[in-house]
């Protein structure tokens, strides 16, 4: 009788364990899928942040180059014609990244050329 009870209890235990294992598998699958989706969304967000950072770096670099060229022109290290050509290239690069900022840079450069605002 004891052996039979032991076999029945082991059978019940294995049956309950199997049912729990199946339920756990069905419960974990959606969890894994949602984690995978979250990882994909995070990757897309990181790529967007890197792209925005790269564009911002380009804009800041071009502005820095323009400011350096203006300073070099004021110090008479380069000719105004050469400085204006290189500044125009920087403005074109800025316009490629942001049309509004390019227009603003162009207006500031034209004002600088026409009115010599940096002398006042």
- Of the chain, the end-to-end C-alpha distance in Å amounts to 109
User: What pTM, to 2 d.p., does this model score?
Assistant: 0.62
Q: How many CB atoms lie within 10 A of CB 59?
A: 19
**Angle CA(99)–CA(102)–CA(106) in degrees, nearest 5?**
140
From first to last of its 120 residues, the chain has per-residue pLDDT tens of 688 888 888 999 999 999 888 888 888 888 888 899 999 999 999 999 999 999 899 899 999 999 999 899 888 898 888 888 999 999 999 999 888 989 999 998 888 888 754 454
Helix 99-115 vs helix 80-97: angle between axes, to the nearest 10 degrees? 160
Residues 44, 1: Cα–Cα separation, whole Å: 64
């Amino acid at each position: 009788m004891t052996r039979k009870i032991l076999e029945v209890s082991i059978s019940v235990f294995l049956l309950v364990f199997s049912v729990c294992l199946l339920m756990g598998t069905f419960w974990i699958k959606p969890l894994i899928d949602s984690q995978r989706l979250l990882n994909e969304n995070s990757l897309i967000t990181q790529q967007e942040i890197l792209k925005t950072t790269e564009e911002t770096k380009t804009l800041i670099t071009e502005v820095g180059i323009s400011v350096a060229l203006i300073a070099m022109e004021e110090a008479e290290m380069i000719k105004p014609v050469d400085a204006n050509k290189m500044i125009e290239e920087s403005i074109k690069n800025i316009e490629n990244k942001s049309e509004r900022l390019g227009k603003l840079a162009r207006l500031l450069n034209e004002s600088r050329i026409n009115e010599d605002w940096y002398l006042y």
